[in-house]
Amino acid sequence: MASAKTSTVAERITGGRVGLTVAERKLSAALMADYPVAGLASISDFARAAGVSTPSVLRFAKKLGFSGFPAFQQALREEVSAQLQNPIEKPEQWSSKAPRGHILNTLADAAMENLGASLRHIDHHVFDDVCQLLGDGKRQVHVLGGRITGHLAGYLHTHLQMARPGVLLVPVSANHWPQHLAEIRSGDVLLVFDVRRYDARVQDFAVSARQRGAKIVLITDQWMSPVSRLAAHTLALRLEVPSGWDSNVVTLFAVEAMVAGIVRRNWKATRERIREIDRYFEGGRRGRG
């Protein structure tokens, strides 16, 4: 587990999931259902929402490495502050803290640290469940990105539709979203990319998709998109780098890892599909000649 200074509360919960008691798992579920707001309530209200005793909340905070409930809440307040941080302010933050050296080195160091921290906190069982859902040929998969992450959604869609049928990219223009929502069936999967500053339109789409019976898979950052309260599975990644924008390096890695995991699970069917697609490409080239 990463140090207390580098881990968010959500990451600590993920890293310590195996050691949680029944009461602590209830508290974890209550917190993640409305993260991080649920943990900012009074200790008695937090305990009541989870259906546990107040002493259980104290033990939960200490289990996560905090000296007590006030320290637990202070960490959550700092996360809220980080969520609200305007990207325009980031260069000022980094200019006084970034080590000397070329940007190629400082950015590479940050990206590698992000990858290491993300891998430490990703539950591989959750990752496997995501791959199983996305690879289930009985379910349609809908991929949705925001203003910045839309290209990652397109990248995943391009690769995933090579591996299996029934993969649909939600249009970039929100004007076409109602028509796409009408195509979502109960049991389908909606994979959502949503990172700070979170897109309210993406959240509304996820709410509507869930109402239609879709299972939500979320790829977000360490501060946790509000879509997490709707998601069946969430992959929270480290994205912050010494730049005016957060980095997509780790997110792209996660996308490629998911595609590789899905292909490995369904290699025989995927191989035949790729061969069929290649035959169409070859036929098109001969036709143009």
Domain ranges of the chain: 9-84, 119-278
Mean pLDDT over 22-50 rounds to 88
Mean pLDDT over 42-62 rounds to 92
DSSP 8-state code for residue 227: G
Q: Which of 222, 246, 247, 220 is nearest to 231 (CA)?
A: 220
Q: Measured between alpha carbons, how far is residue 259 from residues 194, 219, 256 in Å?
A: 19, 14, 5
pLDDT at residue 61, as a whole number: 93
pLDDT at residue 78, as a whole number: 87
State the Rg of the chain over Cα: 21
Q: Measured between alpha carbons, how far is residue 130 from residues 122, 124, 133 in Å?
A: 12, 10, 5
pTM of the model: 0.71
DSSP 8-state code for residue 68: S
> Looking at the predicted structure, is the pLDDT value of residue 48 above 80?
yes
Mean pLDDT of the chain: 86
Segment among 32-41, 68-77, 132-141, 247-256 with least mean pLDDT: 32-41
Burial class (CB in 10 A: 0-12, 13-18, 19+), 182: exposed
Express each pLDDT in 109-167 by its tens digit. Answer: 788 888 888 888 888 899 999 999 999 999 999 999 998 899 999 999 999 999 999 99
What is the CATH number that goes with domain 119-278? 3.40.50.10490
SS3 assignment, position 153: helix
CA dihedral 86, 89, 94, 97 (to 10 degrees): -110
CB atoms within 10 A of CB 21: 13
pLDDT at residue 235, as a whole number: 95
CB atoms within 10 A of CB 104: 8
Mean pLDDT over 211-236 rounds to 94
pLDDT at residue 241, as a whole number: 84
Tokens encoding 185: 């069936």
> Looking at the predicted structure, is the pLDDT value of residue 4 above 90?
no
Task: Tell me if 115 sits within 8 A of 251, measured CB to CB.
Answer: no
What is the CATH number that goes with domain 9-84? 1.10.10.10
Segment among 48-57, 100-109, 176-185 with least mean pLDDT: 100-109
pLDDT at residue 27, as a whole number: 92
Q: Measured between alpha carbons, how far is residue 289 from residues 239, 279, 282 in Å?
A: 46, 16, 11
pLDDT at residue 95, as a whole number: 37
CB-based contacts of 208: which residues, under 8 Å, 6+ apart? 181
For residue 50, the Cα-to-chain-centroid distance in whole angstroms is 24
pLDDT at residue 194, as a whole number: 96
Region label for 124, one of left (φ > 0), alpha (ψ between -120 and 50) or beta (otherwise): alpha
CB-based contacts of 122: which residues, under 8 Å, 6+ apart? 14, 235, 237
CB-based contacts of 147: which residues, under 8 Å, 6+ apart? 199
> Looking at the predicted structure, is the pLDDT value of residue 174 above 80?
yes
Q: Are strands 141-144 and 167-169 parallel, antiparallel or unpaired?
A: parallel
> Looking at the predicted structure, is the pLDDT value of residue 214 above 60?
yes
